[in-house]
Amino acid sequence: MPTLLREGPYRFFFYSDEGDPREPPHIHVTAGEQIAKFWLEPVELQSSKRLRAHEINQLRKLVERHREEFLEAWYAHFEP
């Protein structure tokens, strides 16, 4: 599971085995028991647990800021 970014307590990553059929490009975010998943095309919250609205908004901004590098890593990993 490649880690693409660490920002404060948050780790942004995707799993090497994203299922069959594979879901569209997305990024997982964790910080302890806090979890979120964002679609990348377009950036949209798919799910979250134990995160407050302001934390989700902060994470969305980080995902938007790093979207291009997340997509590049996704496609490099899954479609070499």
Domain edges within the chain: 3-78
pLDDT at 79: 84
* Structure tokens belonging to residue 3: 């880690």
Average of per-residue pLDDT across 16-38: 92
d(CA 69, CA 51): 24
Whole-angstrom distance, CA of residue 40 vs CA of residue 59: 13
Tell me the mean pLDDT in the region 27-34: 97
Question: Which tens digit of pLDDT belongs to each residue from 41-56?
Answer: 999 999 999 999 999 9
State residue 24's pLDDT score.
Answer: 93
Give the pLDDT band of residue 20 (cuts 50, 70, 90).
confident
